[in-house]
Amino acid sequence: MAKTPTKAKGAENEKTPEKPIEGGAEVTNLTKKKPIHVSYLDLMKLKQIQEKANDKDYGSKISIPDIVSEILNNVNTDKLVKKLQEESLTPEDKVRSVYQKYCKENEEIEFDSFVLKVLTKEITVDVDLKSLMSGGK
Protein backbone atom coordinates (compact mmCIF):
# COMPACT_ATOMS: atom_id res chain seq x y z
CA MET A 1 0.00 0.00 0.00
CA ALA A 2 1.46 3.40 -1.04
CA LYS A 3 1.80 6.07 1.58
CA THR A 4 0.24 9.46 1.01
CA PRO A 5 2.91 12.17 1.11
CA THR A 6 2.62 14.43 4.12
CA LYS A 7 3.51 18.07 4.39
CA ALA A 8 6.50 19.14 6.41
CA LYS A 9 5.94 20.56 9.87
CA GLY A 10 4.62 24.13 9.61
CA ALA A 11 3.77 23.84 5.91
CA GLU A 12 -0.01 23.65 6.37
CA ASN A 13 -0.50 27.37 5.69
CA GLU A 14 2.10 27.66 2.92
CA LYS A 15 0.80 27.90 -0.61
CA THR A 16 2.62 27.40 -3.87
CA PRO A 17 2.43 30.56 -5.99
CA GLU A 18 0.49 30.15 -9.21
CA LYS A 19 2.88 32.41 -11.15
CA PRO A 20 6.63 31.88 -11.48
CA ILE A 21 8.69 34.09 -9.24
CA GLU A 22 11.04 36.71 -10.68
CA GLY A 23 13.91 35.11 -12.53
CA GLY A 24 11.72 32.45 -14.11
CA ALA A 25 12.05 29.72 -11.46
CA GLU A 26 8.81 28.11 -10.37
CA VAL A 27 8.35 27.22 -6.75
CA THR A 28 6.95 23.73 -6.42
CA ASN A 29 7.69 23.07 -2.77
CA LEU A 30 8.08 26.00 -0.39
CA THR A 31 9.45 23.79 2.37
CA LYS A 32 12.30 22.38 0.29
CA LYS A 33 15.65 23.59 1.64
CA LYS A 34 18.14 25.27 -0.68
CA PRO A 35 21.79 26.05 0.00
CA ILE A 36 22.81 29.68 0.43
CA HIS A 37 26.25 31.25 0.44
CA VAL A 38 27.31 33.23 3.49
CA SER A 39 30.65 34.57 4.57
CA TYR A 40 32.73 32.57 6.98
CA LEU A 41 32.27 35.24 9.67
CA ASP A 42 28.48 35.18 9.29
CA LEU A 43 28.51 31.40 9.54
CA MET A 44 30.55 31.62 12.75
CA LYS A 45 28.02 34.11 14.17
CA LEU A 46 25.20 31.70 13.35
CA LYS A 47 27.08 28.84 14.98
CA GLN A 48 27.60 30.94 18.14
CA ILE A 49 23.87 31.68 18.29
CA GLN A 50 23.18 27.99 17.74
CA GLU A 51 25.51 26.99 20.59
CA LYS A 52 23.80 29.43 22.97
CA ALA A 53 20.34 28.32 21.86
CA ASN A 54 21.20 24.65 22.39
CA ASP A 55 22.72 25.24 25.83
CA LYS A 56 19.62 23.86 27.56
CA ASP A 57 18.52 20.78 29.46
CA TYR A 58 15.40 19.88 27.48
CA GLY A 59 13.95 20.11 24.00
CA SER A 60 15.11 19.27 20.54
CA LYS A 61 18.23 20.73 18.97
CA ILE A 62 17.89 24.08 17.28
CA SER A 63 19.28 24.14 13.75
CA ILE A 64 20.86 26.97 11.81
CA PRO A 65 17.89 27.05 9.38
CA ASP A 66 15.62 27.51 12.44
CA ILE A 67 17.75 30.49 13.51
CA VAL A 68 17.81 32.05 10.03
CA SER A 69 14.05 31.64 9.71
CA GLU A 70 13.49 33.29 13.10
CA ILE A 71 15.78 36.18 12.19
CA LEU A 72 14.00 36.72 8.86
CA ASN A 73 10.58 36.61 10.52
CA ASN A 74 11.60 39.26 13.06
CA VAL A 75 13.61 41.70 10.96
CA ASN A 76 12.27 45.20 10.30
CA THR A 77 12.21 44.83 6.52
CA ASP A 78 11.64 48.50 5.72
CA LYS A 79 14.54 49.60 7.91
CA LEU A 80 16.80 46.88 6.49
CA VAL A 81 15.98 47.76 2.87
CA LYS A 82 16.56 51.46 3.51
CA LYS A 83 19.94 50.72 5.14
CA LEU A 84 21.03 48.42 2.29
CA GLN A 85 19.96 50.97 -0.32
CA GLU A 86 21.89 53.74 1.47
CA GLU A 87 25.00 51.56 1.76
CA SER A 88 24.85 50.76 -1.96
CA LEU A 89 25.21 54.42 -2.97
CA THR A 90 28.52 55.57 -4.38
CA PRO A 91 29.92 58.97 -3.33
CA GLU A 92 28.77 60.35 -6.70
CA ASP A 93 25.25 58.99 -6.10
CA LYS A 94 25.14 60.76 -2.73
CA VAL A 95 26.26 64.08 -4.26
CA ARG A 96 23.70 63.73 -7.05
CA SER A 97 21.01 63.04 -4.44
CA VAL A 98 21.88 66.28 -2.60
CA TYR A 99 21.87 68.08 -5.96
CA GLN A 100 18.42 66.76 -6.92
CA LYS A 101 17.02 67.68 -3.51
CA TYR A 102 18.42 71.19 -3.88
CA CYS A 103 16.90 71.58 -7.36
CA LYS A 104 13.47 70.46 -6.13
CA GLU A 105 13.50 72.85 -3.19
CA ASN A 106 15.20 75.81 -4.88
CA GLU A 107 16.24 76.50 -8.46
CA GLU A 108 17.21 74.27 -11.36
CA ILE A 109 20.91 74.72 -12.04
CA GLU A 110 23.54 72.67 -13.80
CA PHE A 111 25.23 70.00 -11.69
CA ASP A 112 28.72 71.46 -12.21
CA SER A 113 27.48 74.90 -11.18
CA PHE A 114 25.86 73.42 -8.09
CA VAL A 115 29.09 71.71 -7.00
CA LEU A 116 31.12 74.87 -7.61
CA LYS A 117 28.65 77.04 -5.68
CA VAL A 118 28.61 74.62 -2.76
CA LEU A 119 32.40 74.43 -2.65
CA THR A 120 32.70 78.24 -2.79
CA LYS A 121 29.93 78.47 -0.15
CA GLU A 122 27.56 80.49 -2.37
CA ILE A 123 25.03 77.74 -1.63
CA THR A 124 24.70 75.98 1.70
CA VAL A 125 23.40 72.45 1.97
CA ASP A 126 22.89 70.33 5.07
CA VAL A 127 25.56 67.82 3.98
CA ASP A 128 29.34 68.12 3.80
CA LEU A 129 29.85 67.77 0.05
CA LYS A 130 33.64 67.40 0.35
CA SER A 131 33.15 64.46 2.66
CA LEU A 132 30.63 62.86 0.29
CA MET A 133 32.93 63.26 -2.69
CA SER A 134 35.83 61.66 -0.82
CA GLY A 135 33.69 58.65 0.12
CA GLY A 136 32.67 59.71 3.64
CA LYS A 137 29.12 59.80 4.97
- d(CA 98, CA 92) in angstroms, rounded, equals 10
What is the domain range of residue 107? 91-133
The count of domains in the chain is: 2
* Helix (H), strand (E) at residue 52: helix 40-53
Within a domain: residue 45? yes
- 68 shares a domain with 97: no
Within a domain: residue 81? no
Per-residue pLDDT of the chain (137 residues; tens, 9 = 90+): 444 444 444 444 444 445 555 555 555 566 777 888 999 999 999 999 999 999 999 999 999 999 999 999 999 999 999 999 999 999 889 889 899 999 999 989 999 999 898 888 888 887 777 777 666 55
Within a domain: residue 129? yes
At position 69, the amino acid (one-letter code) is S
> What residues have CB less than 8 Å from 130, skipping those under 6 apart?
119
Within a domain: residue 105? yes
Within a domain: residue 102? yes
Within a domain: residue 111? yes
Residue pair 69/33 in contact by the 8 Å Cβ criterion? no
pTM above threshold 0.75: no
Within a domain: residue 101? yes
